[in-house]
A = this chain, B = another copy of it.
Amino acid sequence: MKNLDFLFTPKQIAVIGASKSPQKIGYAIIDNIIKSGYQGKVYPVNPKEKEIAGLKCYPAIGEIPEKVDLAVLSVPAHVTLKAAQECGEAGVKGLIVITAGFKEVGGEGLKKEKELLNVCRRYNMRMIGPNCVGLMDTHTPLNASFARGFPEKGSISFISQSGAMLLSILDWSFSRGLGYSRFISLGNKADLNEIDFIESCAKDPNTKVILCYIEDVTDGDRFVKVCAEACKLKPIIILKSGTSAAGAQAASSHTGALAGSNRAYDTAFHQSGVLRVSDMNDLFDLASAFATQPLPAGDRVAIVTNAGGAAIVATDTVEKYGLQMARFSKETIDKLRENLPAESNIYNPVDILGDAREERYRFALEQVLQDENVDNVLVLLCPTAVIEPEKTAKTIIEMKNAYPQKPIFAVYMGGQALAGGRNILIQEAVPTFTFPEPAVRAVQGLVRYANFKKHRTTAKPVQLKGLDQNAVKATFYDALKDRRLALLGYEASRVMEAYGIPISKIELATTAAEAQAISEKMGYPVVLKISSPRIAHKTDVGGVEIGLHDSKAVAKAFERIMDRVKHHLPDAPIYGVEVQKMVDEGVEVIIGISRDVQFGHLVVFGLGGIYVNLFEDVSFRLASALTTREAVLEMISETKAYSLLKGYRGKKPADMDALIDAILRTARLARDFKEITEMDINPLRVHHRGATALDVKITIEQAGL
């Protein structure tokens, strides 16, 4: 990716469509650039004006005496193309196209947007928008947008696919005391998109945390790759809207974006280390936590409080969000016992009672902060008669500075009486809340990201042996030649064998004698199933016989199946009868593949059998991620099936190695054959030794043109 510095720290900016009229966007942009304190050169362009805001105005970009890095376009839609072309000819590196009326209006707009993109490509210009608000960088400083106001300098970058959302957040942030490094409005994402800016912000030394509001992802593969790298450097927190069926509809009618499935997004975010939130408040609570606090060493939380009730609520929330209440060392407990009033609770939560003043907070905080068993600290303060909220706030800040490796959060439970203290805390970068719940959620966010960084696997990809790609291709080819996209049972069986995924082999018999010979070779009991491209529900037409224990039974069953099927469906083409050895023993699991439009192949694992859809006890991964034993084991361990596999209620444990191998091979199959649209191995029976697939369905897409 090209460096995007020319967008954030341009040496010259031209504003095409600059205006003298304060109602016009072309005025707001010039005004914002100047007021933001931008130190480079600003060139208004408007053929009707000689001078705007005290700056010389040029009739066209080509008339400006030097090359300009960045041009902001705010001209009517029908002249945008021409203006962009002139920028290209003048050697502009970056365009911000504010103008609307492109893809978002559909039809002709879509065409115009493509032409605009072509112009950019031709002149090697990069473009933000069209239909965007612009961008800001508080460190340059530069406000190249038409938004009202400029945020305080800080370390949060906010990337938004919705212009209005950006305006909302900007306005709201003034009252919240959060500082930002960059605001970026993506608009229609014709050229530059969220991935480009995530990559750019990851490299930006002034950005500590990246926030995104997005409605879709432009390129799933690249998104995962870029985010996985960026997350090694700094946290990315994303609110991805359009999760509901109705929301997705609103999303696509809004931006014309094709929404990937919500599950695929979850999987991709999880995998790349992105923290996903579903609530705007969470987005900013997490942002302020990351912007101001160190990453905790673990998930153990200590609470210091002057009110028992508040502490109980906080403790409930700690458990609800999967964090641990810290257990103090004996030294800490002894010190607390010796120095706090007798009625205090000296265990966690530390209740220093309603008559606690600043010095008691100081003492308790110091004890818990220096305890090695404490990773995070929550300070609760209720407005009892004797509180000293400002003094206590200063003490909290002092403690934060004395123990810079442990995150500390304040919950000032009240309004007017605590406002002074709260302001002091926020000024000095202590995230401060009115109630415990959002504070605990913020801690959880820090812990999640810290865990992601800690557990970044260094495991080596497993080298799989015995993969016969040609055998798979040959099978797919046969199916296509037969004008089928759904493989027959014995074909799916061949694919499994070609990739070394253990299956109770399915063989096709065209006569009763052949079925007998196959059965003898396989061993009993066997199951017989009709094989026909036209019969999906084999049981319904009497096409299945199970529990056949000897050769005679096989022959009889063969004839009965043929008779019944011919009776029910006289015209269906019959390929024969599939023979398979029955396997009862083992834990029933499912391994599946589905293909998402944005992120490609997803592998699913979970409890198998007929209740798959009832219990939905499944976990998902992108096929691209399933290359190590560790990744597969983590995936398995997220399901309840894992409990069964480990040996539920006294049963022998199942063969985890065989299962992991089967999942690794399935993922590899997905990676090697993008043309697989769906695959279900259900059930795979995992035995105490080994595993056996019993039923496999594979669907591929049409090859060629």
Q: Which A residues form the contact surface with B (CB < 8 A)?
A: 25, 28, 104-105, 146, 148, 160-165, 167-168, 171-176, 213, 215, 239, 241-247, 250-251, 253-255, 278-281, 306-313, 315-320, 325, 343, 345, 347, 349, 351, 354, 382-385, 413-419, 434-438, 610-611, 614-615, 617, 640, 643-644, 648-649
Contacts and interface: CB of A to CB of B under 8 A. Distances in A.
B384 A319 contact: no
12 contacts: A25-B385, A164-B309, A171-B383, A171-B415, A250-B345, A253-B345, A278-B316, A279-B435, A281-B438, A610-B648, A615-B615, A615-B640
A318 B244 contact: yes
Contacts of A419: 175
B309 A213 contact: yes
A286 B538 CA distance: 54
Nearest to A342: B105
Given A254-B351, A308-B255, A649-B610, A239 B313 contact: yes
Nearest to A347: B253
B244 A315 contact: yes
A414 B168 contact: yes
B254 A383 contact: no
Given A165-B307, A307-B165, A241 B312 contact: yes
Contacts of A436: 280
B310 A164 contact: yes
Nearest to A415: B175
B215 A417 contact: no
A171 B434 CA distance: 11
Contacts of A278: 316-317, 320, 437
A644 B250 CA distance: 35
B313 A176 contact: no
Contact of A250 (B279, B280, B349, B614): B349
A250 B312 contact: yes
Contact of A435 (B280, B316, B318): B280
A385 B435 contact: no
Question: Which of A148, A175, A309 is the most central at the interface, judged by chain B CB atoms within 10 Å of its CB?
Answer: A309
Contacts of A246: 315-316, 318-319, 325
A354 to B, nearest CB: 6
Given A164-B308, A281-B435, 19 more contacts: A105-B343, A163-B309, A164-B354, A164-B413, A167-B384, A168-B383, A174-B416, A176-B415, A241-B309, A243-B320, A246-B316, A246-B325, A247-B319, A250-B312, A254-B312, A254-B345, A280-B436, A610-B648, A610-B649
Q: How many copies does the complex hold?
A: 2
A414 B383 contact: no
Given A253-B345, A316-B244, A415 B173 contact: yes
Q: For the complex, would chain A's binding face be called helix, strand, loop or mixed by DSSP majority?
A: helix
Contacts of A435: 279-281
Contact of A614 (B164, B312, B643): B643
A5 to B, nearest CB: 28
Contact of A167 (B165, B312, B414): B414
Contacts of A167: 382-384, 414
Contacts of A104: 343
Nearest to A173: B415
A280 B175 contact: no
B382 A164 contact: yes
When A and B form their complex, which 3 residue pairs have the shortest distance between CB atoms, in order from nearest?
A162-B309, A164-B307, A244-B319
A309 to B, nearest CB: 3
A385 B171 CA distance: 12
Contact of A171 (B307, B320, B414): B414
A437 B247 CA distance: 14
Contact of A640 (B176, B317, B614): B614
A615 B641 CA distance: 10
B160 A309 contact: yes
Contacts of A437: 278-281
B316 A247 contact: yes
A334 to B, nearest CB: 18
B307 A168 contact: yes
A383 B165 CA distance: 9
A124 to B, nearest CB: 31
Nearest to A417: B171
Nearest to A249: B315
A172 B164 CA distance: 30
A349 B253 CA distance: 11
Contacts of A247: 312-313, 315-316, 319
Given A175-B416, A247-B316, A383-B167, A309 B279 contact: no
Contacts of A165: 307, 309-310, 382, 413
Contacts of A148: 383, 385, 417
Contact of A306 (B164, B434, B614): B164
Contact of A316 (B160, B242, B309, B320): B242
Contacts of A174: 415-416
A614 B644 contact: yes
A311 B213 CA distance: 13
A386 to B, nearest CB: 9
Given A168-B310, A278-B320, A349-B250, A354 B163 contact: yes
A457 B610 CA distance: 36
Contacts of A163: 307, 309, 354
